[in-house]
Amino acid sequence: MNDTPTHDAATADDAGWLDVRAATVVYGDTVALDDVSITVADGETLAVVGPSGSGKSTLLRAVAGLEPLAAGSVTAGGVELDALATHRRDLGLMFQDHALFPQLDVAGNIAFGLRMQGWSSARQRERVGELLTLMGLSGFEGRAVHELSGGEAQRVALARALAPEPRLLMLDEPFGSLDRILREQLTGELRRLLDELGQTALHVTHDQEEAFALADRVAVLRAGRLEQVGRPEELWRSPSTPFVAAFVGHPNRWTVTADADGLLRWGGAALGVHPVLRSAESLVVAPVAAVSVDDDGPIGGRVVRATFVEGRHRVEVDVDGAPAGEATVVVEHHRRLDRGAAVRLAVVIDQLVAVASAG
């Protein structure tokens, strides 16, 4: 048993309790995961995001021991997991397609892992009761799986993953099949639960908003490679590549040039002198809040769309003289602007962020 990762071993290196180092996974000719290194600290939730096919599930499956590594290593609490079978890695797994067992009732589903581990019936009952209370499903023990709503079924699946008190909880698109309102509600519940339990977790999603709402840190994957890892606000404030800038949801990505005096120009507009940003031809992110409607602004354009989102008017303006592909600027405004209205825009210049153009 001494090769099983234990809670005590974890204290050896809390900075990176889970340590995935230079992991590469290959399927035939496809390099699904390419030299990826990430760590998850004790009690931390790391969300792995990226578009479909970027290698998120492969990373999770490699940590679980469901895919072999072509190169690299996975250690947990200082223990190399390579030689350990999945069921000995002390993991709780919840997948989108990990359906509940239809022939078992709710209690039977939640107790499944406990039975496999040889818990006594009395302890199983007690643990099932605890988890149902935690999930707000007290009294659901005897319910048939087909009687559950989508949200209830996901809570039961989560309870099943958490029941054996796994050292690492791994979730792969756990709310993928649910509607948006329910996803947001369950994401909030999961965040509270992970905090309450001090649970270490690795969460895979294609949804940047879900990742930001849930995770302490977010790792962005693209085509099997790690683009950036950091706290949500770090990814937002200083995206390291244009891909990350787009992925975290910055709509205003501009190719800016600077003249000898450091005056930044974007298309036909002179934006002003930035305290640090001088490099010519750099890609620059203009956060939505950094651009405002202002009669004296240097950027002229026309409103093409206005929507009302979360209490703000979100206005899309087509700018005259903007570089190709960058014509539409998104701003927020306190009142409704009509489609077709001519507007001028100003930029809070020190809120612009330069993004490395490589990648």
The stretch among 25-33, 36-44, 249-257, 290-298 that binds ligand ADP (CB under 6 A) is 25-33
Q: Which C-beta is closer to ligand ADP: that of 26 or that of 182? A: 26
The stretch among 49-57, 126-134, 183-191, 211-219 that binds ligand ADP (CB under 6 A) is 49-57
Contact between 27 and ligand ADP (CB under 6 A)?
Answer: yes
Q: Which C-beta is closer to ligand ADP: that of 55 or that of 108? A: 55
CA distance 230 to 154: 28
* Number of residues this chain uses to bind ligand ADP (CB under 6 A): 11
CA distance 84 to 65: 8
Contact between 68 and ligand ADP (CB under 6 A)?
Answer: no
Contact between 120 and ligand ADP (CB under 6 A)?
Answer: no
Contact between 56 and ligand ADP (CB under 6 A)?
Answer: yes
Contact between 57 and ligand ADP (CB under 6 A)?
Answer: yes
According to CB under 6 A, which one of 5, 16, 50, 164 is a site residue for ligand ADP? 50
CA distance 358 to 169: 34
Q: Minimal CA–CA distance to 195: which of 170, 171, 178, 216?
A: 216
Q: Which C-beta is closer to ligand ADP: that of 20 or that of 135? A: 20
Residue with tokens 């067992």: 101
Structure token digits, residue 254? 């501009």
Contact between 93 and ligand ADP (CB under 6 A)?
Answer: no
The stretch among 53-61, 233-241, 303-311, 349-357 that binds ligand ADP (CB under 6 A) is 53-61
Q: Which C-beta is closer to ligand ADP: that of 206 or that of 302? A: 206
Please state whether beta strands 353-355 and 282-285 pair in parallel, antiparallel, or not at all (unpaired).
Answer: antiparallel
Q: Which C-beta is closer to ligand ADP: that of 32 or that of 352? A: 32
The stretch among 51-59, 105-113, 137-145, 268-276 that binds ligand ADP (CB under 6 A) is 51-59
Q: Which C-beta is closer to ligand ADP: that of 16 or that of 55? A: 55
Contact between 55 and ligand ADP (CB under 6 A)?
Answer: yes
Closest distance to ligand ADP from the beta carbon of 84 (Å): 21
Q: Which C-beta is closer to ligand ADP: that of 94 or that of 256? A: 94
Please state whether beta strands 217-222 and 45-49 pair in parallel, antiparallel, or not at all (unpaired).
Answer: parallel
CA distance 49 to 207: 7
Structure token digits, residue 350? 């020190």
Helices (H), 167-254: 180-197, 208-214, 232-237, 242-247
CA distance 12 to 41: 11
Closest distance to ligand ADP from the beta carbon of 226 (Å): 12
- Identify residue 323 by its one-letter amino acid code: P
Contact between 58 and ligand ADP (CB under 6 A)?
Answer: yes
Contacts of 331 (CB under 8 A, 6+ apart): 288, 291, 292, 293, 314, 315, 317, 345
According to CB under 6 A, which one of 39, 45, 54, 75 is a site residue for ligand ADP? 54
Q: Which C-beta is closer to ligand ADP: that of 51 or that of 262? A: 51
Residue with tokens 């950091």: 230
**CA-based torsion, 265, 269, 275, 276: positive or negative:** negative
Q: Which C-beta is closer to ligand ADP: that of 30 or that of 133? A: 30
The stretch among 9-17, 27-35, 36-44, 210-218 that binds ligand ADP (CB under 6 A) is 27-35
CA distance 57 to 37: 15
CA distance 258 to 91: 52
Contacts of 64 (CB under 8 A, 6+ apart): 86, 89, 91, 93, 170
Contact between 205 and ligand ADP (CB under 6 A)?
Answer: no
Instruction: List residues binding ligand ADP (CB under 6 A).
Output: 27, 30, 32, 50, 52-58
